[in-house]
Amino acid sequence: MPAFVLFELQDLICSNQGDNDFCPGGFLYQKPKESSPFLSLGRHVDVYFPPRKRSRISAPFVVSGEPKQQPSIEILPDECLFEIFRRLPGGQERSACACVSKRWLMLLSSICKEEICTTTTTQFLEPEIKSDAPKADKFTEPKEKGESDDLNEECLENDSHGYLSRCLEGKKATDPRRFGQAFHPRKFLHPKLTNLGLKAVSRGCPSLKVLSLWNLSSVGDEGLSAIATGCHSLEKLDLSHCPAVTDKGLMAIAMNCPNLTSVTLESCSNIGNESLKALGVNCRNLKCVTLKTVHSLVTRELRANFQSLNVSDVSLAVIGHYGTSMVDLALGDLQNVNERGFWVMGKGHGLQKLKSLLITSCQGVSDMGLEAIGQGCPDLKMFVVRKCPLVSDNGVVSFAKAAVSLESLKLEEIHRITQFGVFGILNNGKLKALALANCLGIRDVAFGFPLTSFCYSLRSLTIRNCPGIGNTGLGMLGKLCPKLTHVDLTGLQGITDSGILPLVQRTEAGLAKVNLSGCVNLKDNVVAEITKFHGETLEVLNLDGCKYITDVSLMAIARNCSVLSELDVSQCGISDYGIAVLAGAEQLNLQILSLAGCSLVSAKSLPFLGKLGKTLFGLNIQHCSGISCGAVNLLVEHLWRCDILS
């Protein structure tokens, strides 16, 4: 053994003084004679080994009988030691060197995976540690006598996967100990350290899956950002009483740890909505978010989206009781929540500020739950319910009556609602928008509805793909809602001119947007009446798929409409003559024109399209078989400011 290594080992033994035992006492070797090949002691050397104490050396060790000046590896600068350490052959050698001194430990902890000059990096970064109890015990430090119970030593706890859990509490939770732990476990709990310690963890433990930081004022965004950079396998994060952590650190975790499934935040005063938004956008596997006393969130408006979570009725009860700052709530595919959960959420009276509620594919939503929600959310303005099979007329009518501030209601694939439920909803005096989509239970029923029950507040009516809606029901809606400005009747193939005309003629406020896409039985008479009564207010008109619409309708539009900006006559029976009529209307300032699928439109209309193109931003001439590719190229060259689809 080289002399300087032997001297360094002896100095290490002699310089460690304190209460901890280095060796059990007696000689270093079981037989004193075994030391003779390594240590040649002169006569003037006096070595004494007291029981249970470290060795006391009163004179320097001597090799070959003559004292020499002790060379030491410690004289090397950090740069040299760094180069030596990163060339060590394996993780076992690096771990041994980390035990020599704090200086060596700090240097080793600063080595990143990419800087190690060996092909066995995984052995260093992810050591294979068995979870058998006898083997784990050898890593556990003996607890000193008289030490307080709440100041625990390092402890190892095996989890179900065979990985180790390291826990530091009290005075034992320091950066040097964290550096030492960075060579072994995959899971850390309760560290008390600084950003420097977390940086060491990020370098030494790329497979870290669980991180809990409790009662730490010294850990901030810098440490969390280091974890985010080096530990992409993180699955669970628990931050409690960490005032230095802000949105910046948590957003770094969200953007770099896609496997995150659980986040717990408690008493983190500087964490706000931005970081939670980043978690929702980037962490697709996120299943649980727990917020406790996060003041920066409580004082702001909260928005929460709970989709496909394994939560029970208790979770909704908590939301209903403690969601005092909740303004936007979305619940989707909660299969384990039954009728009682939604009822308790409404009865909790904590959602007083809730303004928007979306419920999708929740089998437990019933009429009783809807009524309770309506009563418990007095400030609710927008409510959307989709694919909830237990909701019927009684539920939506009771909800509309109980929700005194309701302005917008959308029902999608609610097949148990009928025409009676629709008219019952309209009794809500403050409802401004009603949307029905794919509700197959609605059928035309001729019954006497009191004409005194008008819904003067309703401005927007949307009925999409409800095949049971016919002329009778539509005519009654026109009588009950005289103040409509937006009408969307997409896909109502059963209605004709006689159903649309009462609605158009009785509307007093002036229609601004009309969508009749897919109403295949409508004719030019409807367009003529719409432009006659509402030509001065009509801004958007969609007639896509109305095959009986011809150039006569375009003539009515050119004659009566003055503020029309969007016109869609795709798959209609218009021709070049109709385009020419539109181009001749000086008051028209069309911005978007769609002629897709109009087979009668040919290249003869190009000059007229060029004239219309002075104001157009978008032109759709897809599937217009009468317009050749060369004509399209000329049009594109001429209307270079217009976005042309061809």
* Displacement of CA 202 from its chain's centroid (Å): 24
Segment 156-162 shows an average pLDDT of 37
Residue 338 has a pLDDT of 92
Query: Cα(69)–Cα(7) distance, rounded to whole angstroms?
Result: 10
Residue 642 structure tokens: 């217009």
Residue 589 has a pLDDT of 92
Residue 99 CB neighbours (<10 A): 12
Q: Who's near 521: CB < 8 A, 6+ residues apart?
A: 493, 494, 495, 496, 548
Residue 351 has a pLDDT of 93
Residue 67 has a pLDDT of 52
Query: Cα(433)–Cα(126) distance, rounded to whole angstroms?
Result: 59
Segment 631-640 shows an average pLDDT of 90
CA end-to-end span of the chain: 84
Instruction: Please choose, from the candidates 241, 239, 302, 247, the residue with its C-alpha nearest in 3D space to the C-alpha of residue 270.
Output: 247
Residue 293 structure tokens: 């006393």
157 SS3 class:
strand
* Displacement of CA 141 from its chain's centroid (Å): 42
Residues in the chain: 646
Please say whether the beta carbons of 646 and 618 come within 8 A. no
Query: Higher model confidence: residue 48 or residue 574?
Result: 574
Structure confidence by residue, pLDDT tens digits, 514-538: 999 999 999 999 999 999 999 999 9
Of the listed ranges 271-275, 414-418, 509-513, the one predicted with least confidence: 271-275
Residue 333 structure tokens: 């595919």
Residue 537 CB neighbours (<10 A): 17
Residue 181 has a pLDDT of 45
Of the listed ranges 144-153, 359-368, 596-605, the one predicted with least confidence: 144-153
Query: Higher model confidence: residue 508 or residue 163?
Result: 508
Helix axes 576-583, 551-560, angle to 10 degrees: 0
Query: Higher model confidence: residue 469 or residue 25?
Result: 469
322 SS3 class:
helix
Residue 293 has a pLDDT of 56
Does 366 score more than 80 pLDDT? yes
Please say whether the beta carbons of 327 and 354 come within 8 A. yes
| Average pLDDT score over the chain | 78
Residue 113 has a pLDDT of 66
Please say whether the beta carbons of 623 and 596 come within 8 A. yes
Does 111 score more than 70 pLDDT? yes
Query: Cα(601)–Cα(627) distance, rounded to whole angstroms?
Result: 7
Does 475 score more than 80 pLDDT? yes
Structure confidence by residue, pLDDT tens digits, 398-457: 999 999 999 999 999 999 999 989 988 988 778 999 999 999 999 887 766 555 578 899
Q: Who's near 100: CB < 8 A, 6+ residues apart?
A: 12
Query: Cα(522)–Cα(546) distance, rounded to whole angstroms?
Result: 6
Residue 114 has a pLDDT of 67
Query: Cα(338)–Cα(569) distance, rounded to whole angstroms?
Result: 47
Residue 184 has a pLDDT of 40
Query: Cα(379)–Cα(355) distance, rounded to whole angstroms?
Result: 6
Query: Cα(219)–Cα(201) distance, rounded to whole angstroms?
Result: 13
Instruction: Please choose, from the candidates 419, 431, 501, the residue with its C-alpha nearest in 3D space to the C-alpha of residue 459.
Output: 431
Structure confidence by residue, pLDDT tens digits, 217-271: 888 899 899 899 888 899 999 998 888 899 899 999 999 998 898 888 887 878 8
DSSP code at position 520? T
Please say whether the beta carbons of 289 and 315 come within 8 A. no
pTM of this structure: 0.61
DSSP code at position 480? H
535 SS3 class:
coil
In the chain, % of residues over pLDDT 70: 74
Within 13 Å of residue 322, how many CA atoms lie on the same side as its CB? 13
Does 474 score more than 50 pLDDT? yes
Query: Higher model confidence: residue 444 or residue 6?
Result: 444
Helix (H), strand (E) at residue 513: strand 513-515
Structure confidence by residue, pLDDT tens digits, 378-397: 999 999 999 999 999 999 99
Residue 452 has a pLDDT of 58
DSSP 423-453: HHHTT-TT--EEEEES-TT---------TT-
Query: Cα(47)–Cα(31) distance, rounded to whole angstroms?
Result: 15
Structure confidence by residue, pLDDT tens digits, 578-595: 999 999 998 999 999 999
Residue 645 has a pLDDT of 92
Residue 266 has a pLDDT of 82
